[in-house]
Amino acid sequence: MFYKLQYRNWTLGRPKSYIKGPDVMSKSLRTQQRYASAFKDQTRLDTFIGTHSSIPQIRRVSDCSMSSMESGESVEIIYSTHTVSADEEQCDRVSIGPSIPESEATMGQGLDPSNSESEMSETDDEESCPPTAKEMETREEELDHNVSKQSADIKDWDTLRAQIKTDLKKNSRKLALSAINKLMILCNFATLRIKGRSRIDASLQIAEQWHEKQGVWFARRIRALARHYQMFEQLPAERRGGLKNARSLLKDELVKKGVLDYLQSLPTGKVTPKKLRATVNTEILPGLLITPKKPISVRTATRWLIKLGWRYTHVKKGVYMNGHEREDVVKYRQTIFLPSMEKFEARMVHYEGPELKRVEPTLNPGEREIIPNFHDESSFHANEAVNSLWLRKGEQPLQKKGCGRLIHVSAFINPETGRLVSLDDHGKVVRDSTKIIYPGSGGDAWWDSAQLLKQMEDAIQIFETAHPGKQSLFIFDQSSAHASLPHDTLKAFKMNKSDGGKQ
């Protein structure tokens, strides 16, 4: 192989940088084919040289015509690597002047002239062509053969497929989604191998189903995964998921207990990541004789708060406390309320099916039908506006700033007539048990037990008029107003500690 350098006016034009060739073996099959076609016309050093034992050197130029250099003509130097005997000097022929034809230079260096151009092209074509599917399959079989020789306990795919199905059935809820996908791919691969498909064919078929593109790289990964499972009968160790697998000081039970004790000692709403960071760095960690490489940051303190159950929440004015799962409430519901309602429902009308067909109850002698009346109450404001309106372009309603007067509504609801009302022969409401008041400054008194009892008296009269011969079951929710006592009842909180005095 010949390298040509141009000299002009005694200046050697050395290259400023060297270009590194592409790493063909790390490219895809399509890229390898493109590189092979580009390298097709290039020759190899082995074509011109039989052995590689010689070390190319440059012999001192002594026969050069200095006049040609002084005149500024182009000087061409041709380097050729050749093999000489031990008695000869290892050097390269230097020629100054016109370039020597490549054929003559080749013949002049003692190379084999019988190596024709056709033979060189055939050798280059063999080296540049990518491996065929048959050759790749042969390589896969050799890898399997080497794996089987290393371990004689490798099971066949029938046994491995049964093992994979068992793992999917037992550990489907414990395994991560990525592990489940890998086991499903292995199960499909094992099925195709049992049916006689080759490793490459099976992996390509699975890649077509699981990968959006051609999937050549994905098929190689499937074969590597299958080979690993054959040898170790388990999936490769998952090294991703740094947040889950990373080391954290919060995993130390003493650190976690110290952080929880500090957070629970703060008043509600006074917990902040900055306070937690300062306390952990100055009190908790030094108190436990723990010296980290660097103190925790505000971001780390924020993640600790989230892991321990704190959330950054928008505070609302109205607070609703749900006490349905309190121990005393659950005990009352299970032992008193539900058994009593089961007895009462046997005497109530039921509605069954999508058409709500009315089913009359079966009553024993002396029993009357029960109609439940559920009590409920709510408060509204007069200026509560809707959020969605039908408006033309450019229109905007003027809404009042204040909420307006408070409106309190207390009513009874039953499955027969809706609200507990008394109707005349024409279906018009004659009497209604609903009570509406306007409490507040300059308005009605706030709703209390006395007003509720007065409403109950009217509701009983309305029910007897609207449903003669039937019995009402009034159901109230748990409320302090509904559990109030008469005004003359002795209360322990209002009794004197000593004898005498007004109670």
Report how far residue 17's alpha carbon sits from residue 12's, in angstroms, rounded to the nearest whole number: 15
Same-domain status, 376 and 469: yes
Kindly report which listed range (109-113, 231-235, 253-257, 387-391) carries the lowest average pLDDT score: 109-113
Determine the average pLDDT of the residues in 54-65.
42
d(CA 172, CA 153): 27
What are the angstrom distances between the C-alpha of 67 and each of 63, 70, 361?
Answer: 12, 5, 131
468 φ/ψ angles, rounded to the nearest 5 degrees: -70, 145
Residue 139 counted as domain residue: yes
Tell me which DSSP letter residue 16 carries: S
pLDDT score of 15: 63
Q: Supply the range of the domain harboring residue 328.
A: 323-367
Better pLDDT: 50 or 145: 145
Structural domain contains residue 491: no
More confident residue, 346 or 313: 346
Q: Are residues 111 and 147 in the same domain?
A: no
- Could you tell me the two tokens for 21? 């060739």
Residue 501 lies in a domain: no
Q: Are 28 and 95 contained in the same domain? A: yes
Q: Is 100 a domain residue?
A: yes
Of residues 81 and 186, the one with the higher pLDDT is 186
* Phi-psi group of 168: left, alpha or beta (phi > 0 → left; psi -120 to 50 → alpha; rest → beta): alpha
Please indicate, yes or no, whether residues 423 and 473 belong to a single structural domain of this protein.
Answer: yes
Within a domain: residue 493?
Answer: no
Q: Distance (Å, rounded) from C-alpha 295 to C-alpha 247?
A: 15
Residues 71, 120: one domain? Answer: yes
Q: Is 76 exposed, middle or buried (0-12, 13-18, 19+ CB in 10 A)?
A: middle
* 497 domain residue, yes or no: no
Quickly count helices (H) and strands (E) in the chain: 17, 12
15-44 per-position pLDDT tens digit: 666 656 655 456 778 888 888 887 777 766
281 contacts 287 by C-beta, under 8 angstroms = no
Residue 314 lies in a domain: no
Query: Domains in the chain: how many in total?
Result: 5
Residues 121 and 156 in one domain: no
More reliable by pLDDT, 476 or 318: 476
Task: Determine the average pLDDT of the residues in 308-328.
Answer: 76
Give the confidence band of 56 by pLDDT, cuts at 50, 70, 90. very low
Same domain, 362 and 374: no
Three-state DSSP class for residue 419 = strand
The first and second tokens of residue 254, run together, are 């003493």
Question: Nearest Cα to 248, choosing from 287, 283, 282, 280?
Answer: 280
Q: Are residues 119 and 11 in the same domain?
A: yes
Q: Do residues 409 and 370 touch, judged by C-beta distance below 8 A?
A: no
Mean pLDDT of the chain: 76
Predicted pLDDT at 189 = 93
The number of residues making up the chain comes to: 503
Q: Angle at which helices 216-232 and 199-210 pack, to 10 degrees? A: 120
Do 7 and 123 fall into the same domain? yes
Region for residue 90 given its phi and psi (left: phi exceeds 0; alpha: psi -120 to 50; beta: otherwise) = beta
Structure tokens given for 140:
């896969």
- Judged against a pLDDT cut of 70, whether residue 316 lies above it is answered with no
How far apart (Å, rounded) are the C-alpha atoms in residues 467 and 293?
A: 80
Least confident of 152-156, 436-440, 468-472: 152-156
Task: For residues 222-249, give the mean pLDDT.
Answer: 80
Q: Crossing angle for the helix pair 157-170 and 177-194, nearest 10 degrees?
A: 150
User: Same domain for 122 and 143?
Assistant: no
Identify whether residues 220 and 261 lie together within a single domain.
no
Nearest to 2 by CA among 99, 128, 113, 146: 99
Average pLDDT over residues 66-94: 41
Measured over the CA atoms of residue 383, residue 387, residue 388 and residue 393, the dihedral's sign is: positive
Quickly list DSSP for 297-339. -HHHHHHHHHHTT-------S------TTSHHHHHHIIIIIHH
Q: What pLDDT is stored for residue 64 in this prediction?
A: 42
Q: Are residues 429 and 469 in the same domain?
A: yes
What secondary structure letter does DSSP report for 498? Answer: S
Decide if 196 is inside a domain: yes
